[in-house]
């Protein structure tokens, strides 16, 4: 079941995404802050249902529900702190309504009730992962086949990236670009540590003008951006190492790498944003989604710092939110399709 979450509270969006993605065959394909963004995401992604707050800036949930449920025929579950808003929600075309609990009351029972309502309004999920009466799958219908994997991380990143890389197995079929916020002078030692710790995949420090080959990880040098210069006829990217100004005081910047990959690979770009402080990577994730690619961000439950993944969710740049232990298997599944 493909869902869009619309709420002006990043905390609520994160709570909903973290709990719903634990349910088999549920995907959060967009997490946005207002009704206008919910509609824009629904046009691109065609979700099975939208979970929406009412009070949001730019366009509230009731106005969005009229468009989503009316012209677009997408079921809407309104989630509001005001229990008396049920009648207004129904008048706006919402398929169902739930009252928001207090922050410490988002328990299993609440999500069981939510899934019962979503299943009723959007159709049951079959064991194959497809929904009755709808064309839905565990992968984006319009994304792929994937030609590049990009990984971004900051605080706690090396340990997280190591776990993901080890889970990719032998003979990974894509070149991998990796930007890690790192101190000047520490990059080569980190690459050597990765390369000795990952027996299944080679890790190298990215060099300008080098053709990036499948099954090799290219890490951005300290204080330099990792980008794509151009793509060869064989589909392989040629690395560009840039001294362009820092973005949000960061160089290398995950945003810059993600944006470059989105520009060249569009729907064939697969990206993962892992633990880290700040907001780097969030806008890049949204650029990848807007270009038709696919993004996975790390769930709060396994992050050392949830800042960067949370920002990506807030910006509507997270197609999926997964705990670290499930990310590698998901990448392999997406690349194998």
pLDDT at 215: 96
Residue tagged active-site, from 7, 53, 187, 280: 280
Distances (CA, A) of 108 to 9, 15, 113, 326: 21, 12, 9, 21
91 is a catalytic site residue? no
At residue 140, the pLDDT reads 44
Give the count of beta carbons closer than 10 Å to the beta carbon of residue 137: 14
Angle at CA 114, nearest 5°, toward 113 and 117?
90
Of 7, 31, 181, 291, which residue is the catalytic one?
A: 181
Residues in CB range of 71: below 8 A, 6 or more apart: none
Q: Are 56 and 28 in contact (CB under 8 A)?
A: no
The catalytically annotated residue of 154, 242, 268, 291 is: 154
154 an active-site residue? yes
Are the beta carbons of 236 and 204 closer than 8 angstroms? no
Tens-binned pLDDT, residue by residue, of the chain (337 aa):
899 999 999 999 999 999 998 887 789 999 999 999 999 898 888 899 999 999 999 999 999 999 998 878 899 999 999 888 999 999 999 999 999 999 888 988 899 889 888 888 886 543 333 343 333 233 344 688 999 999 999 999 999 999 999 999 999 999 999 999 999 999 999 999 999 999 999 999 999 999 999 999 999 999 999 999 999 999 999 999 999 999 989 999 999 999 999 999 999 999 999 999 999 999 999 999 999 999 999 988 899 999 999 999 888 888 888 899 999 999 999 998 7
Dihedral sign (CA 261, 267, 272, 276): positive
Bridge partner residues of 298 (DSSP): 322
Has 181 been annotated as catalytic?
Answer: yes
Structure tokens, 62: 């009731």
Q: Whole-model pTM? A: 0.62
Set out the domains of the chain in order of their start, with CATH numbers: 2-122 (3.40.50.2300), 148-336 (3.40.50.180)
Local structure of residue 246 (DSSP, 8 states): P
Q: What is the pLDDT of residue 123?
A: 64
Nearest of 93, 108, 130 to residue 20 by alpha carbon: 108
């Amino acid at each position: 079941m493909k869902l869009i979450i619309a709420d002006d509270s990043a905390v609520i969006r994160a709570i909903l995404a973290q709990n719903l993605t634990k349910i088999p065959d549920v995907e959060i394909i967009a997490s946005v802050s207002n009704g206008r963004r919910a509609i824009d995401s629904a046009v691109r992604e065609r979700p099975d249902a939208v979970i929406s707050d009412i009070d949001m800036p730019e366009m509230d949930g009731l106005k969005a529900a009229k468009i989503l449920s009316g012209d677009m025929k997408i079921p809407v579950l309104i989630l509001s702190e005001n229990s008396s808003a049920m009648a207004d929600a129904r008048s706006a075309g919402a398929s169902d309504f739930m009252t928001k609990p207090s922050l410490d009351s988002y328990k299993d029972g609440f999500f069981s009730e939510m899934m019962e309502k979503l299943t009723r309004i959007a159709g049951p999920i079959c064991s194959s992962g497809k929904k009755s009466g709808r064309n839905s799958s565990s992968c984006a219908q319009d994304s792929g086949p994937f030609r590049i994997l990009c990984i971004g991380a900051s605080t706690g990143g090396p340990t997280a990236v190591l776990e993901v890389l080890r889970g990719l197995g032998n003979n990974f079929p894509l070149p991998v670009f990796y930007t890690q916020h790192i101190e000047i002078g520490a990059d080569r030692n980190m690459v050597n540590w990765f390369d000795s710790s990952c027996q299944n995949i080679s890790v190298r420090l990215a060099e300008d003008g080098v053709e990036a080959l499948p099954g090799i990880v290219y890490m951005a040098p300290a204080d330099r951006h990792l980008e794509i210069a151009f793509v060869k006829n064989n589909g392989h990217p040629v690395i560009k190492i840039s001294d362009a100004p820092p973005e949000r005081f960061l160089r290398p910047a995950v945003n810059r790498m993600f944006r470059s990959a989105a520009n060249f690979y569009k729907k064939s770009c697969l990206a993962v944003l892992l633990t880290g402080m700040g907001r780097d990577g969030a806008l890049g994730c949204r650029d990848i989604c807007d270009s038709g690619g696919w993004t996975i961000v790390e769930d709060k439950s396994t992050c050392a710092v949830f800042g960067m993944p949370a920002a990506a969710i807030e910006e509507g740049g997270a197609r999926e939110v997964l705990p670290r232990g499930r990310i590698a298997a998901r990448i392999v599944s997406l690349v194998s399709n």
